[in-house]
Amino acid sequence: MERDVIRKVPLVKPGEPGMIVEEAPTEELAGYPSVGRRIPRRDTIFQVLGQLKYINDLSFPGMLYAKVLRSRYAHARILRVDVSKALEVPGVVAAITADDIPVNSFGPSLQDQPVLAKDKVRHMGDGIAAVAAVSEQIAEEALEKIVVEYEPLPVVLDPLEAMREDAPRIHEPRSNIYWEWHIRKGDVEKALAEAHLVVQERYRTQMVEHVSMETHSSIAMWDAGGRLTVWCTVGRITLARTDLARILQVPVSRVRVVSTQLGGNFGGKNEITIEPVLAILAKKTGRPVKGTYSRKEEFIASTTRHPFIMEYTSGVTAEGRIIARKVRLIADGGAYCSWSETTLGKATILSAGPYDIPNIALDGYVVYTNKPMTGAMRGFGAPQVCFAYESHMDTIAHRLGMDPLQIRLLNAYDEGSISATGQILHSVALKKTLLAAAERFGWEVKER
């Protein structure tokens, strides 16, 4: 690797050029050069000079390029995979299938995802085989020579359908509902029966891909001592390291994962994707192997944001106090768990909203469908439920003929409020924030 010219970036002191002082720091912050001020980031200069190396900017002598054959079907049994014709393509150095993978499963909470699919594919992003060749172009051409025999299976795309007992099972024999969260506080049915008004609504959100400008990219290389180094666009290097060690059946101490500046993550680069494939190809060939996702793979073979179906039922008094809230969340969990457990957990916990409600029943479900994986994305489920409960609050206000701000102030968490999960809350600035915001954007004027 060529060494870049490194510009020495001195520590910027207050008042020096290069520092944009926004507000005069208070006396007590005077000793802290960067608190209360805006200073340019240290690495920016290298980014704007085009010198900062992202993973795909790195290369090593003798490096090979890997490509993964993705499924032709959203749901199918794999009857046969034959890579022999791909190996005959000049420039192809190695090809692997599920049989080459020591432990063919991974995942941050449920290890339900194969590195390469063996008996069946569960969505079109599933990899079935991979090749390493002297160029990306040759690797791509070789993929076309791989023979896969499929037996298509019924496809389930709708999470409500997938929840039904008679739905085709995506991870048979397990149910398609693969994680649940249930939270109870007080007696919600009783409170609903006593309510002045009961408002019931259903909200849905769509699938979202992170579309970071940089696609996933990694390089795997083994040294003579049997140690693996993986340069990758994974934001969680320790998780990547343990996953890799488990898949490859090598001690964690033999695996080194190097990440650098990512060209956008947004939660989409929170787990390994092709790294184990590259590691196995690198081992097989004795050469460094690079794999970079195409933009299309980014959409089908990386995680996305969960689409949610959110059913809300709230009981209110005539004055606008919410006395009961029942929520049923159904997250479309795609073909594999990924960060669904975390996402559903966060969504369920937050689904009642930042409101002091004495009687709460929250149920969250995440279900398998034959769609791209759903995982972490900015907020882990919080944005979806926020959209639902805040829209729901507006409906309630409207039905009561109340000001939407007033109904929020009336119900909002305060210092010492107890959340749905029993947590006692401190430093609660919600009402203050609402009032400040209302003043800044002229809520009252707008209302009139």
Partner 1 sequence: MAFTIKVKVNGEWKTADVEPEMTLLELLREQWGLTGTKLGCDEGDCGACTVLFDGKPVNSCLVLAVRADGHEVVTVEGLGTAERPHPLQSAFEQHGAVQCGFCAPGMLISAKALLDANPEPTEQEIREALAGNLCRCTGYTKIVEAVKSAGRAMKSSVK
* Residues of this chain that bind partner 1 (CB under 8 A): 2, 5-7, 18, 20, 38, 40-41, 43-45, 47-54, 56-57, 59, 137, 210-215, 261-266, 292, 294-295
Cβ of 162: how many Cβ atoms within 10 Å?
A: 23
Q: Is 382 exposed, middle or buried (0-12, 13-18, 19+ CB in 10 A)?
A: middle
Nearest to ligand FES of 58, 211 (CB atom): 211
CB of 55 to partner 1, least distance (A): 11
Nearest to ligand FES of 14, 235 (CB atom): 235
- If DSSP codes are grouped into helix, strand and coil, which group holds residue 229? strand
Nearest by Cα to 179 from 363, 381, 407, 397: 363
- Give the angle subtended at the CA of 59 by the CAs of 276 and 92, to the nearest 5°: 60
Nearest to partner 1 of 2, 23 (CB atom): 2
Positive/negative CA dihedral, 23, 26, 27, 32 = negative
Task: Return the one option of partner 1, ligand FES, none that residue 266 interacts with (CB less than 5 to 8 A, by type).
Answer: partner 1
CB of 208 to ligand FES, least distance (A): 16
Task: Return the one option of ligand FES, partner 1, none that residue 41 interacts with (CB less than 5 to 8 A, by type).
Answer: partner 1
Q: Is 39 exposed, middle or buried (0-12, 13-18, 19+ CB in 10 A)?
A: middle
Nearest to partner 1 of 291, 333 (CB atom): 291
CB of 263 to ligand FES, least distance (A): 6
Nearest to ligand FES of 8, 295 (CB atom): 295
Two structure tokens written together for 404: 């939407």
Task: Return the one option of partner 1, ligand FES, none that residue 214 interacts with (CB less than 5 to 8 A, by type).
Answer: partner 1
Nearest to ligand FES of 62, 264 (CB atom): 264
Looking only at residues 204 through 263 of this chain, which bind ligand FES when binding is defined by CB under 6 A?
A: 213
Looking only at residues 299 through 318 of this chain, which bind ligand FES when binding is defined by CB under 6 A?
A: none
**What does DSSP say about strands 64-70 and 289-292: parallel, antiparallel, or unpaired?**
parallel
Contacts of 358 (CB under 8 A, 6+ apart): 185, 186, 191, 323, 324
264 binds ligand FES (CB under 6 A): yes
The CA distance from 3 to 7, in Å, is 12
CB of 269 to ligand FES, least distance (A): 13
The helix (H) or strand (E) run that includes residue 23 is: none
CB of 210 to ligand FES, least distance (A): 11
Contact residues: ligand FES, CB under 6 A? 213, 264
